[in-house]
Amino acid sequence: MFPVQASTGAGQVDALYIFLLVVAGIMTVGIFLCIAIFAIKYRRRDPDEIPRPIHGSIPVEITWSVIPFLVMLVMFAWGTRLYFENYTPPKDTLDVYVVGKQWMWKVQYPDGTREINELHVPVGSPVKLILASEDVIHSFYIPAFRLKHDVVPGSYQTYWFQPTEPGRYHIFCAEYCGTNHSRMTGWVDVMDPASYQNWMNANAPADSMEQRGAKLFAQYGCASCHVLQTTPSPALNNLFGHPVQLANGQTVIVDESYLRTAILNPNVHPVRGYPPNVMPVFQDQINEEQLLDLMVYLKSLSSNQSAAGVNPARPAPAGKAGAKP
Amino acid sequence: MSTTLPRPQIEAVNYLNVDYSWKSWLFTTDHKRIALLYLFSITAMFGIGGVFAGLMRLNLLFPDGLFQHDTYNKFFTMHGIVMVFFFLVPSIPATLGNFLIPPMIGARDLAFPRINLLSWYIYIAGAIITIVAILHGGVDTGWTFYAPFSSSYSNTHVILAAIGIFIAGFSSILTGLNFIITVHKMRAPGMTWGRLPLFVWAHYATSLIQVLGTPVIAITLVLLGFERILHAGIFDPNLGGDPVLFQHLFWFYSHPAVYIMILPGMGVVSEIVPCFSRKGAFGYEFIAASSLAIAVLGFLVWGHHLFVAGQSMYASMVFSFLSFFVAVPSAVKVFNWTATMYRGSISFETPMLYAFGFIGLFTIGGLTGLFLATLAIDVHVTDTYFVIAHFHYVMVGGMVLAYLGGVHFWFPKMTGRLYPENLARLAAVIVFVGFNLTFFPQFILGYLGMPRRYATYAAEFHTLNVFSTAGATILGVGYIMPLIYLSWAWFKGPRSPQNPWGAKGLEWEQSPTPPPTYNFDVPPVVTEPAYNYAGEVDDGGH
Amino acid sequence: MADTNVSAAEHDVGLKHHFDDSGQQYESATLGMWVFLLTEIMFFGGMFGSYTVYRNLYPEAFASTSRFMNLTLGATNTAVLICSSLTMALAVRSARLGAKKKLIFFLVSTLILGIVFLSIKYVEYHEKWVDHHIPGPGFHYDLPQYYHQAQILFFLYFAMTGMHALHMIVGAGLLTTLIVMASRNRFSAQWNTPVDMIGLYWHFVDIVWIFLFPLLYLIGNH
């Protein structure tokens, strides 16, 4: 009746579920029993009998309103705490980037490895997923971890987990997305750290995401303004995670979502002090996967962000793949 | 005027036999005839929605499916659209509500009889347009029409279906409007708010939701339709739009809509239980107030459909809390119905069997709603069969059972005939068994991780799906039985006495069975509280 | 509340059989119209809600579109509608006084003002057409950095003003019906409910415009 528990969070969700099952069971059995007992005990014996009326009782009404509500408050508090935990990643995570597209999941690791419909992760390390969509709304669902989140086009969504059991677990798309929605499935492969390392080494491509991002940065001519300042442009070092002031006076913290908009549609939220309509609009020119590569590269330019997340066995790239003119 | 020979006068003139011409039916302003017009059309739409359900369950017998994926996707979409907008929303209000609210309050008709007839024609127009959409290939977006799939990707008749639903929405608004004014202005002397039958309270609360909520789905569908044509970008992120805005607009109506669907059923149960317990409702004021509370609170919880959609975690927390809060008035009703039976005089005719079924299954359905309100659990089970099981427990186990119970309870009043009791009891049991076998396995499937709207599924879900389809077959039998015996009983059933159940209420005690066109031979004056089975003297209109 | 004291002639005037007396009938009609207007508020509310969301997201883009809102025509239309509400109120008053000629005069005035409004709307829409500001394949905008956002704004502009105009057209049809009924002596001091009710409707449509005008025309135009 339960899927396998394969993450630290899964057991906690199951515990809460069992609590609700017990409460619901007690209430259901209680009501069923009352009805059954009353139906039998008070069944009509005389066709003309009229029972004594009982209009009601305010103390009773209050009791059976307040007590269930208090029990519900427990459910609410427990569920909310667990929800915040499950959706608030710890500081150091292994970041994996997932792009959903009708009807497949494209997975990218910081070291540049790519897969389709498969996600390899090591036991015992916290993993953060950054989810993007190329087209419609999907949802990345891993029942064994009791986690899902919608994958919404135009934004990034994240969640995290820490696997506890090696094995192969379902990935399902859980937001209807068209014809092959039910075939948009995959597998999470949880491996012990040694096997995971071997797999990563065996599959490592030439370029990491950061390196691919650096190449895109050069290819699209970003350096000429942002590094060489041929046209005055916001500097990109120490950008990620720091505040930036927009032309309309608002201050925002630079994160993946902000950067995505800033690259694709720079004129939506122009930065104060820089004229609009100068940076080219890259909408429809850079796809979601390339954007993620750029994201990793841009993160690497900020000193307080590690380049590729915690990767237990692979050393950080020897030199920063900065943009050279 | 009828051109046939006059019927032999073996029965008094009533709303059915006063005129047999087709014009007298299609141009009627008698709320009772309009109720029957709705009854036939709604039954037909239920049949259509049921056929789609049958096809879906057939497909789900096989892990690799049976139909093409696009076809299956259309099946679940059409099942949802037809059942939600053309069956559940109008069902009890437009049939039983239309028929019973005037006699229950001592009125000759609703406040606006011609608008009542108009609402039926509007319903028919919406239904026809939707059927045309089905016949031309259907829609495959799911009844929830999420953007950007529905606005930019689907190649099916989204706009046509949206028009059909838009038009049907007007029918719902007009019905609700009619009921509100009727309850305010048309009560007989002595029929104070505190003496109103709980059925009327339930419909009043429902009407408030219908009137306030339906326009929002109407404008949402209009915006969606124009976006599909013009691609201006309101819901398209590539064009600066926000797909989640669609979800907020959609659920702002569609959540209160589920209370439109369940409150009338609760009203029916509130009439049946006192009658077959021969005892006034325990906590009358609380049952009445809980209907209003559900109507108001129901507008505040729509975000619980967006817990994993990208909504802020803090907003989700607020919606979770409010969703627990809205469960309290529903629980209060269940307790009050149960307490009504305490020390009552219980009999087991078919309506009461359906009421038992409602209370039990609504309890389960409502409790599973708490699972969904609990954030961390919802993350796991949302968009899975757990949700499907939850809402079918409340909608079918609750609403449909209440509808069947109500139709049986008031069948003698509407037709002047009696239905076959033992056959009806058997059908009620078959419905109950079939229903549970169909939907209980789906709770398990959902927690195991089977997502919804899947044409094919992982092999480990096979066994439970087979159980579910088996249950659906039994449930289908349970539905067909009343269709047959009620139709038969209409024409051939034994004549009913004035009040076969010994029920209290103006519709039973002072309006003939079946009623004349203006419901009462003598305008009633009310001197006692509702459900006064013990014949107590009133303490002054409380 | 039986109407036994009412003369046969009065009883016949408009009283429907399911009502006890004309007071009940009138109150029902009034409450009904108010509830209907409540539904209209919710209907427009969805659009106002969407507008609010996007205006908060894209304040500069939205402000840039107000250059293309013809303030003169918009203000004129506002004045026209306010006058039409005056003539409508005077029409209702005339109906209550049983003054048939004045009733018809004021109904016709309201109708004419409504038609003026719609004509000015047509001129504005035509301007938008010429400027390529109608959302869809032919849309252009002079500030490319605001292209998408402006298209969303214009989409909402047409949705809101278009729905409003549609309600005006329905109102014009209702006014015409009233004029015909009035000229056929259907109304009297004892019974003139339709005039009253349609008056309420007309005032509501006016009020929607009072909200639309500043939201759409006056942003960015301090």
Closest CA relative to residue B218, chosen from B162, B261, B264, B176 = B162
* Residues C39-49 pLDDT 10s: 999 999 999 99
Tokens 């500081």 identify what position? Answer: A91
Q: Which residue of A has its CA nearest to C149?
A: A268
Chain B CB contacts of A263 under 8 Å are: none
Q: A288: nearest CA in chain B?
A: B238
CB contact under 8 A, A31 and B377: no
Task: Compute the distance between CA of residue C172 and CA of residue C164 in angstroms, rounded to an integer.
Answer: 12
Strands A104-108 and A94-101: antiparallel
DSSP annotation of B192: -
**Residue bearing the bigger pLDDT, B195 or A279:** B195
Give the gap in angstroms from C-alpha A170 to the nearest C-alpha of chain B.
9
Decide if A49 and B324 are in contact by the 8 Å CB cutoff: no
The verdict on residue A317 lying in a domain is no
**pLDDT tens-digit profile of A144-155?**
999 999 999 999
- Chain C, residues 156-195, CB within 8 A of chain A, namely none
Task: Tell me which H or E stretch contains B112.
Answer: none
> Are the beta carbons of B240 and C1 separated by less than 8 Å?
no
Note whether C159 contacts B231, CB cutoff 8 Å. Answer: no
Q: Is A18 on the interface with B (CB under 8 A)?
A: no
Q: What is the pLDDT of residue B10?
A: 59
- Cα A176 to Cα A138, B62, B151, B237: the distances in Å are 7, 20, 14, 18
Tell me the per-residue pLDDT of C102-143, one tens digit each, with 9 for 90 and over: 999 999 999 999 999 999 999 999 999 999 999 999 899 998
With a CB cutoff of 8 Å and minimum separation 6, the contacts of A297 are A209, A210, A211, A212, A213, A214, A216, A217, A321
Q: Cite the DSSP H helix spans in B374-528.
A: 375-381, 385-392, 401-415, 421-448, 462-492, 506-509
Q: What Rg value do the Cα atoms of chain B yield, rounded?
A: 23
- Same-domain pairing of A270 and A198: no
The answer, yes or no, to whether residue B397 has pLDDT greater than 50, is: yes
Residue B35 tokens, joined? 């109720």
Which chains touch A (3+ CB pairs under 8 A)? B, C
Q: Does A304 touch chain B (CB under 8 A)?
A: no
Entry field: residues in chain B: 542
- CA-CA distance, A21 to B371, in Å (whole number)? 9
> Is the minimum CB–CB distance between A174 and chain B shorter than 8 Å?
yes
Number of domains forming the structure of chain A: 2
Task: Estimate the crossing angle of helix A8-41 against helix A58-87, to 10 degrees.
Answer: 160
- Mean pLDDT value across residues B367-383: 97
Contact A73 B324 (CB under 8 A): yes
Note the pTM of the prediction, 2 decimals: 0.92
- Judging contacts by C-beta atoms under 8 Å, the chain C residues touching residue A250 are none
Kindly identify which residue of chain A lies nearest to residue C144, measuring between CA atoms: A277
Closest residue on chain B to A59 (Cα): B283
Tens digit of pLDDT for each residue in B108-123? 999 999 999 999 999 9
pLDDT at A234: 87
Looking at the structure, tell me whether residues A275 and A133 fall in a common domain: no
Question: What is the amino acid identity at position B372?
Answer: L
C-alpha distances (whole Å) from B191 to each of A297, B107, B499, B540 are 75, 10, 21, 11
Would you state the structure tokens that stand for residue A284, as one six-digit string? Answer: 């429809």
The domains of chain C, with CATH numbers, are 18-217 (1.20.120.80)
When comparing pLDDT for C59 and A168, which is higher? A168
B378, B379, B382 from B309: Cα distances, Å: 12, 10, 10
Residue B494's CB is within 10 A of a number of other CB atoms, namely 11
**How many CB pairs (< 8 A) connect A and C?**
20
pLDDT at C67: 87
- Residue A246 sits in which domain range? 209-300
Name the A residues in 276-305 with CB < 8 Å from any C CB.
276-277, 281
Residue C2 has pLDDT above 60, yes or no: no
- Cis peptide bond prior to B514, omega within 30° of 0: yes
* Same domain? A181 vs A103: yes
Inter-chain CB proximity A281 and C144 less than 8 Å: yes
- Angstrom distance (rounded) from CA A75 to CA A321: 49
- Please check whether residues A68 and A110 belong to one and the same domain: yes
CB-nearest partner of C58 from A266, A268, A276: A268
What distances in angstroms separate CA A301 from CA A112, A266, A307, one per listed residue? 18, 20, 8
pLDDT for the residue numbered A256: 86
Q: What is the pLDDT of residues A50-109, one digit of tens each?
A: 999 999 999 999 999 999 999 999 999 999 999 999 889 998 899 999 999 999 999 999
Amino acid at B213: G
Same domain, A222 and A287: yes
CB B42 within 8 Å of CB B86 = yes
Of the residues C54, C58, C145, C147, the best mutation for testing chain A's interface (the one with the most A CB atoms within 10 Å of its CB) is C145
Nearest 5°: phi and psi at A301? -80, -10
SS3 of residue B495 by DSSP: strand
Eight-state DSSP code of residue B372? H
pLDDT of A96 reads: 96
Q: How confident is the model at residue C4 (pLDDT cuts 50, 70, 90)?
A: very low
According to the model, what pLDDT value does residue B6 have? 57
End-to-end Cα spacing for chain B: 46
- Concatenate the DSSP letters of all residues of B332-368 into one string: HHHHHHHHHHTT--B---HHHHHHHHHHHHHHHHHHH
Query: CA nearest B509: which of B494, B490, B528?
Result: B528
- CATH match for B26-509 among 3.40.640.10, 1.10.1470.10, 1.20.1250.20, 1.20.210.10: 1.20.210.10
Question: Is residue A2 within 8 angstroms of chain B, CB to CB?
Answer: yes
Which residues from B are below 8 Å from C1, CB to CB? 189
Six token digits for residue B293: 């509370």
Claim to verify: residue A123 and residue A257 sit in the same structural domain = no
Cβ neighbours of C146 in A, within 8 Å: 267
Name the one residue in this structure whose structure tokens are 């007839």. B117
- Tell me how crowded residue A1 is: count the other CB atoms within 10 A of its CB: 7
**B89 touches C at CB < 8 Å:** no
pLDDT > 60? residue B337: yes
Final residue before a domain boundary, out of A138, A172, A205: A205
Answer whether residue A321 shows pLDDT above 80.
no
Going edge to edge, which strands form the sheet with A114-116? Answer: A114-116, A104-108, A94-101, A127-133, A157-161
Strands A185-191 and A104-108, bridge-based pairing: unpaired
What is the spatial distance between Cα B469 and Cα B363, in angstroms, rounded to a whole number?
23
What confidence tens digit (pLDDT) does each residue in B405-420 have? 999 999 999 999 999 9
Is pLDDT above 80 for B542? no
Backbone angles phi, psi at C16, to 5 degrees: -85, 150
pLDDT tens-place string over residues A26-67: 999 999 999 999 999 999 999 889 999 999 999 999 999 999
Residues A124, A144 within the same domain: yes
d(CA B378, CA B383): 9
Would the pLDDT of A115 be above 80? Answer: yes
pLDDT of residue B491 exceeding 90, the answer is yes
pLDDT at B95 over 60: yes
* Cβ atoms of residues B507 and B258 within 8 Å: no
pLDDT tens sequence across B299-325: 999 999 999 999 999 999 999 999 999
The residue among A205, A223, A257 that closes a domain is A205
Q: With pLDDT > 90 as the criterion, what percentage of chain A qualifies? A: 65
pLDDT band (50, 70, 90) for residue C22:
confident
CB B342, CB B417: distance < 8 Å:
no
Q: Cβ contact (<8 Å) for C31 and B181?
A: yes
How many CB atoms neighbour CB A52 within 10 A?
9
Q: How far is C75 from chain A (nearest CA, A)?
A: 29
Neighbours of B536 (CB within 10 A): 12
pLDDT on residue A273:
87
Instruction: Give the neighbours of chain C: at least 3 Cβ pairs within 8 Å.
Output: A, B
Percent of chain B with pLDDT over 70: 97
B334: nearest CB among A31, A42, A43: A31
Residue A316 lies in a domain: no
Cα–Cα distance measured from residue A143 to residue A4, given in angstroms and rounded to the nearest whole number: 8
Nearest CA to CA, how far is C101 from chain B (Å)? Answer: 30
Q: Give the gap in angstroms from C-alpha C146 to the nearest C-alpha of chain A.
A: 7
Q: Which residues of C68-92 are buried (b: 16+ CB within 10 A; e: fewer)?
A: bbeeeebeebbebbebbbebbebbb
Residues 269-288, chain A, touching B (beta carbon < 8 A): 283-284
Answer whether residue A266 shows pLDDT above 90: no
Mean pLDDT of the A200-219 span:
90
Domain at A243, CATH number: 1.10.760.10
Rounded-to-integer distance, Cα B21 and Cα B24, Å: 5
Nearest CA in chain A to C63: A248
Q: Which residue of C has its CA nearest to B106?
A: C18
Whether residue C221 is predicted with pLDDT greater than 60 in this model: the reply is no
Residues of C in contact with B111 (CB under 8 A): 18, 28, 32
Among A174, A205, A236, residue at a domain's last position: A205
Confidence band (pLDDT; 50, 70, 90) for C62? confident
Give CA B274 to chain center in angstroms. 21
Phi-psi label, residue B202: left if phi above 0, alpha if psi -120 to 50, beta otherwise: alpha
**pLDDT confidence of A306, banded at 50, 70, 90?**
very low
Amino acid A283: pLDDT: 85
Helix axis angle, B243-277 to B350-373, nearest 10°: 150
User: How far is the alpha carbon of B188 from chain C, nearest alpha carbon, in Å?
Assistant: 10
Residues in chain A within 8 Å Cβ distance of C143: 277
Q: How confident is the model at residue A6 (pLDDT cuts 50, 70, 90)?
A: very high
A235 vs A14: CA distance, rounded Å: 47
**pLDDT for position C18:** 85
> C41 and chain A: CB distance < 8 Å anywhere?
no
* CATH classification at residue A60: 2.60.40.420
Cβ pair A297, A216 in contact under 8 A: yes
Q: Does B230 reach chain C within 8 Å, measured CB to CB?
A: yes
- ipTM value greater than 0.95: no
Task: Please give the average per-residue pLDDT across C172-200, as a whole number.
Answer: 94
Beta bridge partners of A100: A105, A133
Strand partners, B451: B384
Which conformational region is residue A56 in: left (phi greater than 0), alpha (psi within -120 to 50 degrees), or beta?
left
Residues of A in contact with B449 (CB under 8 A): 3, 141, 143-144, 170, 172
**Cis geometry, peptide bond prior to residue A103 (ω within 30 degrees of 0):** yes
Residue A323 in domain: no
**Residue C10 pLDDT grade (very low, low, confident, very high; cuts 50, 70, 90):** very low
3-state secondary structure chain A: CCCCCCEHHHHHHHHHHHHHHHHHHHHHHHHHHHHHHHHHHCECCCCCCCCCCCCCCHHHHHHHHHHHHHHHHHHHHHHHHHHHHHHCCCCCCEEEEEEEECCEEEEECCCCCEEECEEEEECCCCEEEEEEECCCCEEEEEHHHCEEEEECCCCCEEEEECECCCEEEEEEECCCCCCCHHHCEEEEEEECHHHHHHHHHHHCCCCCHHHHHHHHHHHCCHHHHHCCCCCCCCCCCCCCCCEEEECCCCEEECCHHHHHHHHHCCCCCCECCCCCCCCCCCCCCCCHHHHHHHHHHHHHCCCCCCCCCCCCCCCCCCCCCCCCC
Tell me if B232 and C40 make a contact (CB, 8 A cut-off): no
Task: Flag whether pLDDT at B539 surpasses 60.
Answer: no
Q: Is C168 on the interface with B (CB under 8 A)?
A: no
Q: Where are any strands of DSSP class E within B54-185? A: none
A121 has a pLDDT exceeding 80: yes
Residue B238 pLDDT: 87
Q: CA-CA distances (angstroms) from residue A17 to A144, B372, B374, B377?
A: 14, 10, 9, 7
% of chain A with per-residue pLDDT over 70 = 93
Q: How many CB pairs under 8 A join B and C?
A: 112
Chain B residues with beta carbon closer than 8 angstroms to that of A177: 149
C44 neighbourhood in chain B, CB within 8 Å: 219
Q: Hey, is the C-beta of A78 within 8 angstroms of any chain B C-beta?
A: yes
**Cα A107 vs. chain centroid, distance in angstroms?**
14
**Region A272-296: what's the mean pLDDT?**
88
For an interface test with A, give the residue of C54, C60, C149 to mutate (most A CBs within 10 A): C60
Distance from B528 to chain C by nearest Cα, in Å? 20
Q: Which of residues 71-130 of C touch A (CB under 8 A)?
A: none
- Extents of the domains making up chain B: 26-509
Same domain, yes or no, for A17 and A129? yes
On chain A, the residues whose CB falls within 8 A of the CB of B69 are 179-183
Considering chain B, what is the average pLDDT of its residues? 95
A260 contact B CB<8A:
no
